[in-house]
Structure 1
Amino acid sequence: MKIAVLGTLSACEAGISFIPTAAKPRQVLAMLATRADRVIPAATLVKELWGDAPPPSFQTTLQTYIAHIRSHVRAALLQSGQLHRRSPKDVLITRPGGYLLAPAGGSVDMWEFERQAFAGYRAMDSGDHVVASRKLRSALALWRGPALADICVGSILRLEIERLEEARLCALVRRIEADLHLGRHQEVLSELTVLVRQHPDNESLCRHFMIALYRSGRCGDALAAYRRLRTTLVRELGIEPSATVRELHQAMLAGLPELDVTEVRAARPGLAHTG
């Protein structure tokens, strides 16, 4: 089985898709896919589908949606010639109080993303920026667009999507950090130009943007990026930029030579992890 949620929903058994066309069963399958190999209580599915106002027949309706998904699984198993080895109830399992989607050793892109990202983080922590950049790029390449972009979501899936998107942004920030350590400031500059516009209050992105601009000979633009960040934080949140960003700003004003070094070690505590 192959399950993908980092983009439009994809669920295949032996290469054959078993995604329903109806919106509510797709929503149920999306919930099961984001928690593959874990039991999801029926009450959680009900909350996702109808919030705090489920219809009187919600139990029967949910069972109908489960049956609908299983019918698509059966068709996929039949078409692939696997029905004699695995039944629809082996794929979408009923457990006491809930349901479980069993990949049975298959792949889930969300799991692979997390595995590659964590490997990248470990490499960053050990100072191996080449491996960190490669692992984080591999993790980010698994994304095909916004998570579950084609699913009508309720409150629970919305939170899961926010979690996934935050994990994606974190991996992206760390990959850019690794690239800056490797002297790729000009390569990441256009990417950062877009990202800081999309996330105007993200200090990590702005810090990386300032470093990339400064090392590309654009000190004035780097200082302007700081001013925009400060204006946004003060106006919208009532706070000043962090000490780390303020120190970077002061270092640029002073033209400290360590800013030009590709591998910034511990020359100054606040600058050591800026790239």
Structure 2
Amino acid sequence: MELGILGPLVVSDPRGVRMPQAPKQRQLLALLVANANHVVTVGECVEELWDGAPPASAVQTLQTYVMKLRKSLPPEPDGSTRIHTRDQGYVFRTRPGELDLERYETEVRAARAAAAGGADELAAARFAAALRIWRGEALEGLALGPVLRTTLVGVTESRLGVLEQRIEADLRLGRHHELLGELRMLTARHTGHENLAAQFMVAFYRCGRQADALAAFQRLRAVLTEQLGVEPSPRMNRLHHAVLTTDPVLDPPRRSAAPMALDLADAPIRRAS
């Protein structure tokens, strides 16, 4: 079976799509798949489906939804249902490799291990492979209740973090020219994100565009001060000073074990004698 939450909900097998048409049944199925192999309590199901205002018949209605979902899904090889009743709740059982979130997390672990070992070519490739598993926003197009929204916060944050780590690996590999367009788009979308701004500054600087690197800092500072009432962090200010003084610490790396973009601000400033 193919199961996916990293984009529109996918539940299918070789015989076709297995998703119900009824919105609340589809929402319940998404909740169970997003928490595959873990118990989702009856209370969590009710909260997700009725968002704090359940009808008196909520538990009975939930049981009906679960019954219909069980009938719509193909059985496991031993003939048992995919949805098991456990500990005052339900568990959607999956097998290894069926769920896109599991495949994504496997790629991310491999990428981080490669990065920790200094294998930046492999790390960049595995981070990129993890990101390609995404087909859009998590559960795109589905009405989300409070439980699913909370569940997806960490998944969505992980995607951005993995993207940052892939860019860091590319910077260590000297791919700053190739990164400018992507970083321009990302910093426009995440205007107050310091690490993305730092990566943009470093990429600009290594392309010989010191003025653009300084302008990127000023745009970040304007957003932070005007919208949040805070100044850039000390690390960003040190990075800004390094760009101003053309500190050699910002030069393209000669080996893959180079520091992360924002960490460059922590390196000692080298002054001309």
Counterpart code for 2:46: V
Distance apart, 1:15 and its partner CA: 5.4
- 1:255 maps to 2:255: no
| Gap regions ≥5 residues in structure 1 | 78-82
Matching of residue 163 in structure 1 with residue 154 in structure 2: yes
Aligned to 1:215: 206
Q: Is the 8 A contact 2:33 2:92 kept in 1?
A: yes
Q: Distance in 2 between matches of 1:265 and 1:164?
A: 28
- Asked if 1 retains the 8 angstrom alpha-carbon contact of 2:97 and 2:103, the reply is no
> Pairwise mapping of residues 41-120 of structure 1 onto structure 2 (< 5 A)?
41-73=41-73, 77=74, 85-87=77-79, 89-120=80-111
Contact 1:186 1:212 survives alignment (8 Å): yes
Q: CA deviation at 1:153?
A: 0.4
1:188 and 1:212 in contact (8 A); partners too: yes
Q: Which residue of 2 aligns with 1:37?
A: 37
Counterpart of 2:23 in structure 1 is 23
Q: Deviations over 1:82-140 (max 9, x none)?
A: x69454x5211122311111113452111111121122222223322112101101110
Q: Helix, strand or coil for the counterpart of 2:85?
A: strand
CA contact (8 A) 1:2 1:103 kept: no
- Equivalent-residue separation in structure 1 for 2:76 and 2:22 (angstroms): 27
Q: CA deviation at 1:17?
A: 2.2
- Name the aligned partner's letter for residue 176 of structure 2: H
Give the SS at the match of 1:107.
Answer: coil
Q: Please tell me whether the aligned partners of residues 247 and 270 of structure 1 are also in contact (alpha carbons under 8 angstroms).
A: no
Q: Percent identity?
A: 38
What is the aligned partner in structure 2 of residue 193 from structure 1? 184
2:227 pairs, out of 218, 224, 236, with 236
Taking the aligned partners of 2:205 and 2:223, their CA distance within structure 1 comes to 21
Counterpart of 1:139?
130
Question: What secondary structure, in the 3-state scheme, does the structure 1 residue paired with 2:186 have?
Answer: helix
Which moved further from structure 2: 256-265 or 195-204? Answer: 256-265
User: Quick check: 1:18–1:69 contact (8 Å CA) kept in 2?
Assistant: no
Looking at structure 2, the residues matched to 265 and 6 of structure 1 have their Cα atoms a distance apart, in angstroms, of 32
Number of the residue aligned with 1:126: 117
TM-score scaled by length of structure 2: 0.90
State the partner residue of 2:194. 203
Q: Give the aligned partner of residue 177 of structure 1.
A: 168
Within 2, Cα distance between the matches of 1:272 and 1:114?
Answer: 30
CA distance in 2, matches of 1:116, 1:273: 30
Contact residue 84 and residue 90 of structure 2 kept, 8 A: yes
The one-character-per-residue Cα deviations of 1:164-199 (angstroms, maximum 9, x if unpaired) are 110000000010010011011111111110000110
Q: Distance in 2 between matches of 1:250 and 1:105?
A: 49
Separation of aligned partners in 2, 1:84 and 1:155: 30
Q: TM-score, normalised by structure 1?
A: 0.89
Letter in 1 for 2:41: P
2:221 counterpart letter in structure 1: R
Q: In the aligned structure 2, how far is the partner of 1:15 from the partner of 1:176?
A: 40
CA distance, structure 2, for counterparts of residue 222 and residue 37 of structure 1: 47
Instruction: Kindly state the Cα deviation for residue 259 of structure 1 after the two structures are TM-superposed.
Output: 1.5
RMSD (CA atoms): 2.2
